[in-house]
Amino acid sequence: MIVVVGLSHRTAPVHVREKFATSADVLPQVLARLASHPELRESIFLSTCNRVEVFADGSGEGAVDAIRDALCQHAGAPSAEISPFLYEKTAHDAVRHIFRVAASLDSMVLGEPQILGQVKTAYDAAVAAGTLGTYLGRCVHRAFSVAKKVRSETALGAGLVSISSVAVDLARQIFGDLSGHAVLLVGAGEMAEAAAKSLGRGGKGIRVCNRSMERGAALAKAFGGEAAPFTALEDELARADVVVTSTGSPTFVVHADMVKRAMKKRRGKTLFFIDIAVPRNVDPAVHKIDNVYVFNVDDLEQQVAEGLKARQAEVAAAEEIVHKELHDFETWSRGRDVQPTVVALRAKTRAVFTAELERSLGGRLKHLAEGDRAALAQMLDSAVNKLLHAPTTRLKAAAAKDEGADLAQVLQHLFDLPELPTNDAKPEMLEATPGDDERLPQ
């Protein structure tokens, strides 16, 4: 059974979410911790600025408890401290949630494209760590298809839609035309690039301060701006009006003492920080300094709500896509449940026919030439296929209506089939190979 346990911007404030933030170098350890629980057959760990979730194929409540334990260990916090913020979903609700997450229907910024890339990154990490098999893998691959259909068949993601674009919209609300104000991007990753796209060119341009000067310079050049080394951050704060921070640092990069010194150089001129990083880049104490204002990702919700109104008309169409794909996946899943019975029935029937044929070929028909023997074997295969076509078709049709389990038990009893493997068996794991879509289960 597929389960989801996690927290998001809907259930936990940023100071809680940042406890769970996971860098790429730590992710293998987290996946190994999940894999150490026998209740979890497959698992994926998704960590973004607005959500931390574990997708898993496991055994019901035992799987949920195992994930909760792993999350507590990861956050270094007792269960009583984080449990109020966690949600859990199982079976139908879990699959639907995974589809909605990938399609950005559960994002703070409805329609934002970044989440799909983040889910794909989590998928890749699980494949590389050997924690992803064919069942959960099939589910997540179907989620990718849902996201693609939502983006191509609706206008949910039209235009620039991201936390970064919302941050820039907030800056424009505060200052009006930004062309006359200095904007500093601290960090040069995807979120900084998205902010730069929203800002565009012109005016005073964009300044970028990043640990990698080469990366910072490339981003600045692409948008007609200038770059500065990270060691010059304090000087850059003194000349900026709006600062958008989005580094991957696990600790604060902007401290109160640094800002106080910068404000002296600014002679008290107002300075705005928009911190879209998780963990946060700006020490909350900075907000207490006179004429300095700090907004974090949770503070952007009002702007997000206003943007949601324009996209609400597309939500119904997107949800309908999710509903249809969920029905198709569950139909496939139920068919998968009866497949062992189909295989066992065909194997036993073929074994009986083959044994009788071999007995005859060793006795009264031993004079037959190889060509005639091959013809008889081919006839036997054809007879098995024709005999079992109707039972197989009706069993799969019953499974599609969620009636397959009872019929499968009847067949197992009537034909005395051997004990069949269940979905609790260890799944076939996916191998890490280059490329994305080429290795996803079809």
pLDDT tens digits for range 353-373: 888 888 888 888 888 889 988
**61, 50, 77: which is closest to 5 by C-alpha?**
61
Residue 86 has pLDDT above 90, yes or no: yes
* Lowest-confidence segment of 103-112, 116-125, 246-255 by average pLDDT: 103-112
90 vs 438, which has greater pLDDT? 90
Q: Using the 8-state DSSP alphabet, how is residue 249 labeled?
A: -
CA distance 241 to 205: 12
Q: In this prediction, what percent of the chain has a pLDDT beyond 70?
A: 90
CB 318 within 8 A of CB 80: no
Mean pLDDT, the chain, rounded, equals 85
Pick from 255, 331, 336: nearest CA to 292:
255
Q: Is residue 439 over pLDDT 50? A: no
Asked if residues 139 and 101 have their Cβ atoms less than 8 Å apart, the reply is: no
Residue 128, SS3 per DSSP: helix
Q: What is the DSSP string of 384-403?
A: HHHHHHHHHHHHHHHHHTT-
Tell me, yes or no, if 139 is annotated catalytic.
no
CATH code at 2-159: 3.30.460.30
Task: Copy the structure tokens of residue 275.
Answer: 């911190």
Residue 305 structure tokens: 């709500």
Which 8-state DSSP code applies to residue 225? -
Whether pLDDT at 130 is above 90: yes
Confidence of residue 306 (pLDDT cuts 50, 70, 90): low
What sign does the dihedral 145-151-156-162 (CA atoms) show? positive
Span 163-305 CATH architecture: 3-Layer(aba) Sandwich (3.40)
Boundaries of every domain in the chain: 2-159, 163-305, 334-414
Write the DSSP symbol of residue 86.
-
Work out the pLDDT band at 141, boundaries 50, 70, 90.
very high
**Res. 310: pLDDT tops 70:** no
What is the average pLDDT across 59-76?
A: 90
How far, CA to CA in Å, does 61 sit from each of 42, 58, 67, 68, 84?
15, 9, 10, 11, 17
Give the residue among 276, 279, 277, 243 at the shortest CA–CA distance from 258: 243
> Cβ atoms within 10 A of the Cβ of 22, count?
19
pLDDT for the residue numbered 204: 55
Q: How far apart are CA 234 and CA 253, in angstroms?
A: 10
Catalytic residue among 49, 72, 139, 209: 49
pTM, entire model:
0.72
pLDDT of residue 37: 94
C-alpha span between 180 and 16 (Å, rounded): 37
Lowest mean pLDDT among 132-146, 208-222, 303-317: 303-317
Highest mean pLDDT among 168-172, 227-231, 411-415 belongs to 227-231
Task: Write down the pLDDT at residue 213.
Answer: 93
CB-based contacts of 4: which residues, under 8 Å, 6+ apart? 53, 54, 55, 56, 88, 89, 90, 94, 97, 98
Paired tokens of 79:
């269960």
For 267-300, what is each residue's pLDDT tens digit?
A: 888 898 989 888 999 999 999 999 999 988 888 7
Lowest-confidence pick of 123-137, 148-162, 278-292: 148-162
State the amino acid at position 401 in one-letter form: K
pLDDT (average), residues 347-351: 86
Report whether pLDDT(436) > 70.
Answer: no
- Most confident of the following: 25-39, 342-356, 401-415: 25-39
Mean pLDDT lowest among 65-79, 377-391, 418-432: 418-432
